Amino acid sequence: MATPVKVTVTGAAGQIGYALLFRIASGQLLGSNVPVKLSLLEIPQAVKAAEGTAMELDDCAFPLLSGIEITDDPNTAFAGANVALLVGAMPRKAGMERGDLLGANGGIFGPQGKAINEHAADDIKVLVVGNPANTNALIAQQNAPDVPADRFTAMTRLDHNRALSQLAAKLQVPVTEIKNMTIWGNHSATQYPDLYHAEVGGKIAAEQVESEWLRDTFIPTVAKRGAAIIEARGASSAASAANAAIDHVYDWVNGTDWTSAAVVSDGSYGVPEGLISSFPVRAAGGRFEIIQGLEIDAFSRDRIDASVRELTEERDAVASLGLI
Ligand code: NAD
Ligand code: LMR
State which of 236, 240, 248, 278 you would mutate to test the pocket of ligand 2, scoring each by most atoms of that ligand within 8 A of its C-beta.
236
Would the CB of 158 count as within 6 Å of ligand 2?
yes
Same structural domain for residues 75 and 178?
A: no
CA 272, 248, 216, 202 torsion-angle sign? positive
Q: Is residue 240 part of a domain?
A: yes
pLDDT value at residue 7 = 98
Q: Answer for the pair 283, 319: CB distance below 8 angstroms, yes or no.
A: no
Q: Is residue 275 part of a domain?
A: yes
pLDDT value at residue 262 = 99
- The DSSP result for 119-148, as a single string, is HS-TT-EEEE-SSSHHHHHHHHHHT-TTS-
CATH of the domain at 215: 3.90.110.10
Query: What's the CA angle centered on 191, arms 188 and 194, to 5 degrees?
Result: 155
Would the CB of 229 count as within 6 Å of ligand 2?
yes
Where a domain ends, among 154, 180, 208? 154
Would the CB of 165 count as within 6 Å of ligand 1?
no
pLDDT value at residue 1 = 67
Q: Is residue 321 part of a domain?
A: no
| Half-sphere exposure for 14 (CA within 13 Å, toward CB) | 23
Q: Which atom of ligand 1 is nearest to the CA of 238?
A: 25
* pLDDT means over runs of 10, the chain (324 residues): 93 98 98 97 98 98 98 98 96 71 90 98 98 96 98 98 98 98 97 98 97 98 94 93 98 98 98 98 98 98 98 95 90
Active site residue 197: no
d(CA 167, CA 218): 8
This model of the complex carries an ipTM of 0.99
Q: Which domain holds residue 123?
A: 5-154
| 119, 160, 187, 197: the active-site residue | 187
Q: Answer for the pair 87, 20: CB distance below 8 angstroms, yes or no.
A: yes
d(CA 126, CA 30): 14
pLDDT value at residue 103 = 85
Q: Answer for the pair 270, 278: CB distance below 8 angstroms, yes or no.
A: no
Same structural domain for residues 136 and 206?
A: no
pLDDT value at residue 99 = 74
The residue whose C-alpha atom lies closest to atom 3 belonging to ligand 1 is 14
pLDDT value at residue 47 = 98
pLDDT value at residue 100 = 79
CATH of the domain at 62: 3.40.50.720
Same structural domain for residues 181 and 195?
A: yes
Say whether 65 sits in a helix, a strand or coil. strand
Same structural domain for residues 163 and 137?
A: no
d(CA 279, CA 247): 16
Q: Which atom of ligand 2 is nearest to the CA of 227?
A: 6
Same structural domain for residues 113 and 211?
A: no
Our count of domains for the chain comes to: 2
Q: Which atom of ligand 2 is nearest to the CA of 229?
A: 3
Q: Answer for the pair 103, 49: CB distance below 8 angstroms, yes or no.
A: no
Say whether 28 sits in a helix, a strand or coil. coil
State which of 131, 136, 155, 277 you would mutate to test the pocket of ligand 1, scoring each by most atoms of that ligand within 8 A of its C-beta.
131
pLDDT value at residue 104 = 87
The residue whose C-alpha atom lies closest to atom 8 belonging to ligand 2 is 226
State which of 42, 71, 96, 134 you would mutate to test the pocket of ligand 1, scoring each by most atoms of that ligand within 8 A of its C-beta.
42
